[in-house]
Amino acid sequence: MELTTIQSQTPTPETNSPLTQQKCMACEGGVIPFSKIEADILCKQIPGWDISLDAKSIAKRYGFKDFNEALVFVNKVGVLAESEGHHPDIYLKDYKFVELTLSTHAINGLSQNDFILAAKIDA
């Protein structure tokens, strides 16, 4: 999906190709975040991810057998996030649980990038 910054252009969810085959695109603002309805459309492609009540972020919790396994996952997510140029908030809790939250900070809400990265993390 090509996003351009033409005075508050409203993006629409790209659903023609699998999220894992798409690439995050730089977002410097100037676009309207997805509505709850648009986010719900894409969330169907990323089972286990929850949309926040204000529809500004998505989140998922992962459980592991121990701290080391959780830390390995965190590091893999970090490498993937860096390669996509889109970065989640990462929380390592109770030594073996990782909670990820995705949001496009430049637009204070959800964009295609959040769903692309979520799908790639799960893959």
pLDDT per residue, tens digit, the chain (123 aa), is 343 333 334 445 665 678 878 877 877 778 899 999 999 999 999 999 999 999 999 999 999 999 999 999 999 999 999 999 999 999 999 999 999 999 999 999 999 999 999 999 999
**pLDDT at residue 65, as a whole number:** 98
Q: What is the tally of structural domains in the chain?
A: 1
**What CATH number is associated with residue 62?**
3.30.1360.20
Distance CA 104, CA 84 (A): 13
CB-count burial class (<10 Å; 0-12, 13-18, 19+) for 14: middle
SS3 content of the chain, % helix, strand, coil (to 5): 35, 20, 45
**pLDDT at residue 12, as a whole number:** 55
**pLDDT at residue 8, as a whole number:** 37
For residue 100, tell me if it sits in a domain. yes
Listed in sequence order, the residues at least 6 apart from 71 whose beta carbon sits closer than 8 Å to its beta carbon are 92
Domain that holds residue 109: 19-122
Q: How far is CA 34 from CA 3, 14, 37, 68, in A?
A: 13, 11, 8, 36
Q: Which of 71, 62, 104 is nearest to 87 (CA)?
A: 104
For residue 13, tell me if it sits in a domain. no
For residue 39, tell me if it sits in a domain. yes
**pLDDT at residue 45, as a whole number:** 95
Q: Which of 19, 15, 13 is nearest to 123 (CA)?
A: 19
Single pTM value for the model: 0.84
